[in-house]
Amino acid sequence: MLLINSKPNKGLRKFLKAHCDGETLVVADSKLGNAIKEKLVSSLLMSIQQLYLICSCMFANRNK
């Protein structure tokens, strides 16, 4: 589980701090994105264009 009471869990927070510091993240789930942006990441993208990109990547990987 990534969210507990609309907050990222300890494992997710540790991972993001260790691997995503200074990076731009793309998040498909708006609730998770808002929780991450609020506390952990300075640059976060959540829009319909990014959602289409994520879906396209998932579809392309599934058809390999």
Q: Which of 5-14, 42-51, 55-64 has the lowest mean pLDDT?
A: 42-51
**pTM greater than 0.75 (yes/no):** no
What pLDDT does 34 receive?
A: 79
- What separation in angstroms does the CA of 58 have from each of 35, 54, 62, 64? 23, 6, 6, 10
For residue range 19-59, list pLDDT tens digits in order. Answer: 877 777 777 777 777 777 777 766 776 677 777 777 888 88
Annotated domain spans of the chain: 22-64
**18: nearest Cα among 46, 40, 44, 42:** 40
What span, in angstroms and rounded, lies between the C-alpha atoms of 59 and 20?
25
What pLDDT does 10 receive?
A: 84
Beta bridge partners, 3, equal 8
